[in-house]
Amino acid sequence: MKRWILISGSVCLIFGIALAKGKNMSHEKKDLKNRLTPLQYRVTQQEGTEPPFKNEYWDNKRAGIYVDIVDGTPLFSSTDKFKSGTGWPSFTRPIDEKNITSHSDSSLWMTRTEIRSKKADSHLGHVFDDGPPPTGLRYCMNSASLRFVPVEDLSKEGYGRYLSLFKDVAAGEKPSVKSETPKTAYAVFAGGCFWCMEKPFEELDGVRAVVSGYTGGKEKNPDYQQVSSGRTGHAEAVRIEYDPSKISYRKLLDVFWMQIDPTTPDAQFVDHGPQYRSAVFYMSREEKNLAEETRDALEKSGRYGGKKIVTEISPASGFYPAEDYHQDYYKKNPLRYKFYRRGSGRDQYLRKIWGDK
């Protein structure tokens, strides 16, 4: 009987502690909701992502440090900030690696490394290995996760120990923001059947890999049968990994336009349905501008007999690699591939529009 009472008492105590912790967590979340803006809360607490180029610090050039919006922990310095062209504030390293944690994240079209603040556990962004020297890393952060403290306010706000990072500023020199070309970049294009879109890009110097997949819809991890139904919103597409120091995004766009019929909505040659629409999925404002610029130039050229170009130009979203048997189909099944290209009418159309280019 005593043993039963002891066990029951222990269970009640444990349950009570857990309940108290749950209530405390609930109060903390409620306090954060009251203290943060809706965007700050969504990003830091729900792993959200703010839009590129439409956030507070992506182009901030002032000297100072960036601290956790939740608890003020110092995270990054303007001395390590550089222009990445992505539309988000980017850094080569944190102020102190002890202030952050890293976690594997497979939620989108590639496995990424998520970065969180250690103490407050705020979602900050992701780190990539395409940054400039000296680290070769790009810490791509959300402005909504950060608060900027200018160098002139460091002592006043209790961050005086970081003044040593800004000796040049103290001497009256204006700190420079580095501008480096990333070592790896990605482009995503849809041009109907992805079998026919891999080869033209894989043949280009500077292209490292081309992956067939699905993008542009809301269904997570779709398979071919789902996408081919036309009900997922996804399009068959290719993701191109390339070295921007060897080949430009503009060149990739030029090749893209020469593979498709941009005047047919929700179709490419013999294949019909929204899953076969042509599209450019841009990852930055610069890519969007280039896509629109090249589209408009083509439309004015008269090459398409006055027809309107209807190719979709939309922000990139989750990209889901297609099944293995779709990858490098032109290499694995050369005869079927050639038969399909001829039978679809693609080659005949492209020859008519572009000649033997």
Other CB atoms within 10 Å distance of the CB of residue 14: 10
Residue 135 C-alpha from the chain's centroid: 21
For 280, how many CA atoms within 13 A lie in the half-sphere containing its CB? 29
How far from the centroid of its chain's Cα atoms is residue 15's Cα?
42
With beta carbons less than 8 A apart as the criterion, state whether 294 and 327 touch.
Answer: no
Asked if 259 contacts 267 with a C-beta cutoff of 8 angstroms, the reply is no
How far apart, in whole angstroms, are the C-alpha atoms of residue 144 and residue 50?
A: 7
Rounded to 10 degrees, what is the CA torsion of 279, 282, 285, 291?
-40
Cα separation of 299 and 263, whole Å? 10
67, 193, 252, 253: the catalytic one is 193
The residue to which tokens 């110097």 are assigned? 205
Angle, alpha carbons 262-267-272 (nearest 5°): 170
Alpha helices in the chain (DSSP H): 2-35, 38-46, 167-170, 195-202, 224-228, 249-257, 285-301, 329-332, 334-344, 346-354
Packing angle between helix 334-344 and helix 346-354, nearest 10 degrees? 60
Q: Which residues contact 51 (CB under 8 A, 6 or more apart)?
A: 87
12 given a catalytic annotation: no
Answer yes or no: are the C-beta atoms of 124 and 145 closer than 8 Å. yes
Chain center to CA of 152: 34
The residue from 43, 140, 279, 280 that is catalytic is 140
Question: Measured between alpha carbons, how far is 305 from 353 in angstroms, rounded to an integer?
Answer: 10
Q: Is 196 a catalytic residue?
A: no
In DSSP terms, 104 is beta-bridged to 113
List, by residue number, the catalytic residues: 140, 193
